[in-house]
């Protein structure tokens, strides 16, 4: 399953394909979740997630300069603390 990235802009910008991550991936405690998946699970937008990274609520796993993931166990613990 893939989607075209609408955030690409400019006359020579090529559509970027992204692969959607299934929400059931969060049930695997060692899974590394994409930002979009964390957003869908928590109901938070990207900006709110980035704010929580700054405050230390969310601890991202940096896999490269442009690749960040979140541990499913951390997200699930946050959800439980929120009563969700």
In a domain, 18, yes or no: no
pLDDT top residue among 27 and 60: 60
pLDDT digits (tens, 9 = 90+) for 33-64: 999 999 999 999 999 999 999 999 999 999 99
pLDDT top residue among 50 and 19: 50
In a domain, 3, yes or no: no
pLDDT top residue among 2 and 66: 66
In a domain, 15, yes or no: no
pLDDT digits (tens, 9 = 90+) for 69-84: 999 999 999 999 998 6
CA 39, CA 41: separation in Å to the nearest integer?
Answer: 6
pTM: 0.69
Domain region containing 54: 27-84
**What angle do the packed helices 46-55 and 35-42 form, to 10 degrees?**
100
In a domain, 84, yes or no: yes
In a domain, 1, yes or no: no
Q: Torsion-angle region of residue 14: left (phi > 0), alpha (psi -120 to 50) or beta?
A: beta
In a domain, 44, yes or no: yes
Residue ranges of alpha helices (H) inside 1-84 are: 35-42, 46-55, 72-82
In a domain, 49, yes or no: yes
In a domain, 41, yes or no: yes
Backbone angles phi, psi at 44, to 5 degrees: -95, 150
State the total domains in the chain.
1
């Amino acid at each position: 399953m893939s989607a075209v990235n609408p955030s690409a802009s400019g006359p020579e910008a090529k559509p970027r394909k992204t692969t959607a991550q299934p929400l059931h991936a969060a049930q695997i405690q060692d899974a590394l979740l994409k930002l979009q998946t964390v957003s869908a699970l928590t109901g938070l937008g990207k900006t709110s997630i980035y704010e929580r990274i700054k405050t230390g609520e969310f601890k991202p796993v940096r896999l490269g300069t442009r690749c960040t993931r979140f541990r499913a166990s951390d997200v699930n613990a946050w959800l439980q603390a929120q009563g969700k």
